[in-house]
Amino acid sequence: MKGEALKGHLDLLLLAAVRARPAHGYAIIENLRLRSGGNFELPEGTVYPALHRLERAGLLRSRWSEASGRRRRTYEVTEKGLTELRARERDWRGFSRAVEDVLEGAT
Amino acid sequence: MARAPRGRRFKRRVFSEVEDHLREGVWHEREGGVPALEAERRVIERFGSPRLVARRFAEDLTGGGARTAARAMLLAMFGVTVLRFLPSPALGELLGMPANGFFEPPGPGPDDVLPPHLRPAVDVAQFAFLATLAAGVFALWRVRRHGRSAGILRGQLPVVVSATVLAFAAFAISGVADTAFMFQRAEVVPGSPSTLVHAVFAAVRALITAAGGYFVVRAVVLRLRSLRRLRTN
C-alpha cells in the first residue's frame, strides 16, 4: 500500500505500533513494516511529522535517551492515546466489516 | 529540515532524530552485509525527499500555527478590553460604588487632550481592533471547521496580515497613550490606593499588548515563510 493511501490511517498505525512498548522512530517504522508483511511502503521521514503531531495532541509522549553514543527520541502512548487508539480501532473494524459485506454482496 | 517552519530548538530535535534514524538504518544494512556506500544510498532513498518531509512538517504545523495565532489574538484582545473598561463609571455604578479615584478618576481623557488632527487615529485604532478581532474569530472558526489541514487561505492572508499589523500598531499606540493618561489621572488623587492599582493595570495591559502582538506577528511571519517555501519546493 503506497504512501498516499496510508496517509489517512497513519495515526492509527503509529499508535498501534507504539502501544506494546516505547520505541524510537526507526523501530516504529520497522515494526510497521514487519507486522504488515512489507505491505506498507511510505517514505520513512514522513513518519516524524506525524509523531510530532501526535505528541502535540497529547496522544504520545517522548523523551531523550542515549544509544550508541547518539541522542535518541523514544515515544510511548499516553492514556489519552490509548483511548483514542481503541476508538479508532473500533471505527476501523466497523468500516472494514462494512466494506467486506459490500464486496461479498457484489460477487 | 532547515526549511521546516519552526524555532531553533525544534529544528535541533528534528536533526537529532533524523541523524539517529539514518545511522540506525545504515547500521542494520551493514549488519546484513551491505557495503557502506550502498547501505547509505538505500537508507537515504527509503527516508524520502527532504522537501517532502519538510512539506509534511509544514502541513502539520500550519493548522497549529493558525490556532495559536487565533487564540493569541483573542486572548490579547479580551485582556486589553477587560483592562480598558474595568475602571469605568459603568462598572462602578453596577457595583454600587461611587465615582472615586478608582472608577473613572477625575481628569482629562485621551480624546480631550489629543490634538484634533490625531483624533481620527483613535477611531482607526478602534476599527483595527475590531477588524483583527473579526479576523481572529474567523481564523479560529476555519480551523475548527477544517481541522488540522486548515490554514489561512492565500487569498485571505493579505487581509489578515494587514489587519494584524494595524491592530498591533493600534495596540501599541493606544496602550502607550492610555498608560500615560492613566498615570496622569491617577496623579489627580495623590496618595490614593488607586494610584497603585492603576499602575498595576497599566503594566499588565502593556504586557498583554506586547505578548499578544508578538505572538500574532510571529505566527503571521512563520506562515508567510512556510508559504514561500512551499511555493519554491
Amino acid (1-letter code) at residue A5: A
Q: Choose the mutation target among B20, B28, B30, B230 for the interface with A, i.e. most A CBs under 10 Å.
A: B20
What does R_g of chain B's alpha carbons equal in angstroms? 26
Chain B hits for A67, CB-CB cut-off 8 Å, are: 20
CA B70 – CA B53 distance, rounded (Å) = 26
Report d(CA B190, CA B54) in Å as an integer: 59
Place of cell 492509527: A12
Which residue in A44, A49, A72 is closest to B47 by CB distance? A44
Is the whole model's pTM more than 0.90, yes or no?
no
| Domain extents in chain A | 3-106
Q: What is the CATH number of domain A3-106?
A: 1.10.10.10
| Among chain B residues, CA nearest to A47 | B53
> Model confidence over A8-59: pLDDT tens digits?
788 899 999 999 889 999 999 999 888 888 887 778 988 998 999 899 889 9
Q: Under DSSP, is residue A73 helix (H, G, I), strand (E, B) or coil?
A: strand
Q: How far is B47 from chain A (nearest CA, A)?
A: 4
Q: What is the ipTM of this complex?
A: 0.84
CB A31 within 8 A of CB A17: yes
A60 strand-pairing partners? A77
- Please, which residues have CB within 8 angstroms of residue A77's CB and are 6 or more apart in sequence? A15, A18, A19, A59, A60, A85
CB contact under 8 A, A53 and B60: yes
Distance between CA atoms of residues B24 and B27, nearest Å: 5
Give me the tens of pLDDT residue by residue for chain B, a chain 233 residues long: 444 445 678 888 888 899 999 999 999 999 999 999 999 999 999 998 887 787 777 666 555 555 555 566 666 666 656 655 555 555 556 665 555 544 454 455 555 555 676 667 666 666 666 666 666 666 656 655 654 444 555 555 555 556 566 666 666 666 666 666 655 554 445 555 555 666 666 666 666 666 666 666 666 676 666 666 655 54
The verdict on a CB contact (< 8 Å) between A73 and B49 is no
CB B217 within 8 A of CB B168: yes
Instruction: Tell whether B149 lies on the interface with A, counting CB pairs under 8 A.
Output: no
